[in-house]
Amino acid sequence: MTRILYSRVAGRDVHLPKMVGAFIIVATLLMFAQSASNLFDARDVMVYYQGCILDLGDGTVEEQRAQFEFCADTLYNATGLVVKDSSPLLTTRQYWIGLAGKVAVLLFWLAVLISGYFLYRTDRLILPLEGRVIEHSAPVRKFSYKRKK
């Protein structure tokens, strides 16, 4: 036989966990928006870098090197990727490495947002706890002592 016990995390009168959860949700929404903006900005900088490298032009070697340095610095500041002079175009691996950290931060703030939502909903959260009642199928023996005569 199985018995399910319900346990309430917080009562309907407890407002402190709900207030903390609301603050976490608001702060996390702002950080989630910032990390999404950083992700899209990094992608835009990578696309800009590819165009910047392809438009080096027919100037002198010093002008081309200066423009390459400008493009590489812009890419490094936005994504942290370092590009060599020998292979200036981004590979697929470099592209995804540049975005992987931004995606991880975005998913982290999404996880914090979900935990803040659960903290906000503590007044309605009920945890089911399962308890098992074991019935013995064998008859229980009663011990009796013989009296001495």
Q: Encoding tokens for residue 94?
A: 């470099």
**102 in any annotated domain:** yes
- Could you read off the pLDDT of 50-103 as tens digits, one per residue? 988 888 777 788 888 888 899 999 999 988 888 887 888 888 898 999 999 999
CB atoms within 10 A of CB 32: 18
Max Cα-Cα span within the chain: 125
**139 in any annotated domain:** no
The mean per-residue pLDDT over the stretch 5-13 comes to: 58
**69 in any annotated domain:** yes
The pLDDT value given to residue 135: 60
**89 in any annotated domain:** yes
Distance, in Å, from the CA atom of 63 to the CA atom of 69, rounded to the nearest integer, reads 10
The mean per-residue pLDDT over the stretch 33-40 comes to: 95
State the total domains in the chain: 1
What are the Cα distances from residue 11, in Å, to 125, 130, 141?
9, 21, 46
**74 in any annotated domain:** yes
**119 in any annotated domain:** yes
**147 in any annotated domain:** no
Q: Which residue range(s) make up the domain with 6?
A: 2-132
> Which ranges constitute the DSSP H helices of 9-60?
16-54
**148 in any annotated domain:** no
Of 52, 58, 55, 82, nearest to 70 (Cα)?
52
Overall pTM surpassing 0.85 (yes/no):
no
